[in-house]
Structure 1
């Protein structure tokens, strides 16, 4: 393996670039999370039944699916930075429409528009950060995106709690602030050096790498490795080539399990579920804030662990904790334990599930997707990862309340426990260890058939 770039040679601008880009994750988290509190007001305002609640919730997910698919060809053509700026403008438009929606139809439309922006950010922000970060800090920097996502979720829970007796329109409207920050910030940042190289602008790529790596010799070495691995932009069919398939299986599998293991069922519907079993609206919203704090803490830990432990090791160590937490949570609902000490056990099980699941699968999903594909089809591969994530999320958001009605809360959480166990088996079999390897070294491992042997 090539010698790692000296961490001391990485200038502060690299972290600043990653932080600004990750603001897209803050919007992602806020706009997906705020519905959990807003739904408690929107439901009586528009007289929504279970199906109506699920449609309002899932509209943003349907939009995200479309957004992540259109982002790939556009980001390859126009560049990663411009696509993030465009997504910020879409966020602003969708937020304003949602805030002033006079009826449910326009609100669903606005949520769909917000979803387009969320989908674009989920596809392109991790790719942009991965392509500007040095290898030894890539995991930590890409996870900044997920950290911003959970920070946005936590902020949405806090806002929802303090505005629970006021206006859901204001809940949505506050999202315009980070959207403006994202647009202005991205307008000042450089383009991806790997995108510039892919477009044939080697001089521009070298100039950006000099800013990012500080040492011209290091920048030249990195550019030479990019050029050596460079291929023309590949069509979608390239993802089905046998040598690319291991990356496809690993990244898409992690994206699928990230959703079907239940994290967004808890995120979207925790207040509704807990209020329905006797916690009361205020207590249910406070439980959501505790979940948000746990998610942020576990993501902060995960941002360290992906580089200190490794991506694969983190997943294998934390997923079993999610299984146990869900088994306990299901048991508490099965015995109707929502009073006294049992209430605290139930809340602790939810919080511990959030810690173990978010700290593993949610931390790894965007990182694995952004780093395992070859440059020629990286953007399209990441689109497929994001699309898988959002399709699974759409299914979860459309069915969770119906599952709770059909199986009961206990049966639903036990089902998610089984899916977390399946995720553990999948990681053990198909997900390699990419810690400490450059993007070009990972691409080489795909081409020489050693990708699956990286443990």
Structure 2
């Protein structure tokens, strides 16, 4: 029970990530009129937070390696609160963008440090489910943002409340993290063996941690010999994890998921839904599918395995993107617009059992301890950078090529991801972080 509570509190970083990522989709329908934004400036309002997220992720690895995972999450929670409040009271575009930068920076840090912290406090046989708590919270935050967006979509000033309510989970995360221990592997890596032992005993109350402590000490002793972590990251030992991590980071974005997260109401309005409220309600339904399928993924990751779920999810994404593109090219409108909604929901469902949770789980597992923070940081920078690129180009692609061809481009990227996964992505189910590191260092297949 204690460990479950710890994981739930620690995962609140994902809730903030999800809420602040998703809330802009509904708020944008009103912000664009209040501030008279054209398509390019709408893209900037979305993309500036993503650019800030990439910057936040760039510093997150170094900061979490130096100061610890826990203290970084505490500071991040406060930045979330500040960014939400600044966005809510914005009276001009520059102030709004300032709030979005604060929120984006915090999102970038949380998106990297939360799964890192969860992976390091979890026992091997539960790590898939525990780390995926972060992904569950992301999806829950997104669907909550859609629900809030719907409830507040009937007033012209509702967008301020949509953005401002993001401060509440930030406050809860800050209070919760005050009660939690630091990551045992980080403590051991800093030579604080007694503190690492105490933290493990707290985290795994009622179980014998002798073997886990001994393994931590051995691994930490090995990695304390390295004095140049960045050089180690680019050395042969970490090369394969780096290729896998950055590759999946890019593919998670260029397959189009965040065009749905950020622009779903806009997509549904273009497909023929009659009002902003109807479009936001349909988007909330898609968000609920995301939550449910992520819960299913949590149960399957430590049973079926990461690789198999990833391949299954990608296959489903490929098919549904082709159907979605075909629906747009066929000109579905009116009642048939719900075919578009169903296609988007199915696409999100397959993402939620595969590429969504597996990417964040794998990058928390595959990097060596000495460079785990920095390796995850580089993968997260790539993820947010391509998130920004895809988001800022989506409306322009639709304008230039049409909605159908645009989604066919994302389908082609999904096929490329399938090929990449088949040949390069390992199975890590049920292995300790130390075992995974040793196997990848030896170029072992790590297949189920």
SS of residue matched to 1:190? coil
Please identify, of 143-152 and 166-175, the stretch whose mean Cα deviation from structure 2 is larger: 166-175
Q: Which of the numbers 338, 347, 354 marks the counterpart of 2:341?
A: 347
The alpha carbon displacement at 1:184 in A equals 0.2
Q: Deviations over 1:206-237 (max 9, x none)?
A: 11111222356x31211211222221265222
CA distance in 1, matches of 2:264, 2:112: 27
Extract unaligned runs of 5+ from structure 1: 1-11
Please identify, of 266-275 and 30-39, the stretch whose mean Cα deviation from structure 2 is larger: 266-275
- In 2 relative to 1, CA 344–275 (structure 1 residues): closer, same or farther, beyond 3 Å? closer
State whether structure 2 residue 199 is matched by structure 1 residue 199: no
CA distance in 2, matches of 1:215, 1:44: 57
Extract unaligned runs of 5+ from structure 2: none
TM-score normalised by L of structure 1: 0.95
State whether structure 2 residue 306 is matched by structure 1 residue 317: no
- Report if aligned partners of 2:268, 2:340 keep a CA contact under 8 Å in 1: no
1:226 matched residue in structure 2: 216
1:241 matched residue in structure 2: 235
Q: Deviations over 1:377-400 (max 9, x none)?
A: 000011011111101101011101
SS of residue matched to 1:164? coil
State whether structure 2 residue 437 is matched by structure 1 residue 439: no
The alpha carbon displacement at 1:269 in A equals 0.7
- Report if aligned partners of 1:263, 1:358 keep a CA contact under 8 Å in 2: no
| 1:17-416 correspondence runs (5 A) | 17-166=6-155, 167-214=158-205, 218-230=208-220, 231-232=223-224, 234-280=228-274, 281-340=276-335, 342-416=336-410
CA distance in 2, matches of 1:84, 1:106: 25
Q: Deviations over 1:76-118 (max 9, x none)?
A: 1111000000000100111111111110111011101101110
- Report if aligned partners of 2:272, 2:337 keep a CA contact under 8 Å in 1: no
CA distance in 1, matches of 2:48, 2:395: 15
- Report if aligned partners of 1:196, 1:204 keep a CA contact under 8 Å in 2: yes
The alpha carbon displacement at 1:344 in A equals 2.5
CA distance in 2, matches of 1:309, 1:48: 47
Q: CA RMSD in A?
A: 1.2
CA distance in 2, matches of 1:323, 1:449: 30
CA distance in 2, matches of 1:426, 1:13: 39
- Report if aligned partners of 2:22, 2:146 keep a CA contact under 8 Å in 1: yes
- Report if aligned partners of 2:51, 2:384 keep a CA contact under 8 Å in 1: yes
CA distance in 1, matches of 2:417, 2:51: 24
Please identify, of 156-165 and 228-237, the stretch whose mean Cα deviation from structure 2 is larger: 228-237
CA distance in 2, matches of 1:326, 1:338: 18
User: Number of paired residues?
Assistant: 441
- Report if aligned partners of 1:26, 1:178 keep a CA contact under 8 Å in 2: yes
CA distance in 2, matches of 1:384, 1:418: 25
The alpha carbon displacement at 1:150 in A equals 0.5
The alpha carbon displacement at 1:161 in A equals 0.8
Please identify, of 231-240 and 96-105, the stretch whose mean Cα deviation from structure 2 is larger: 231-240
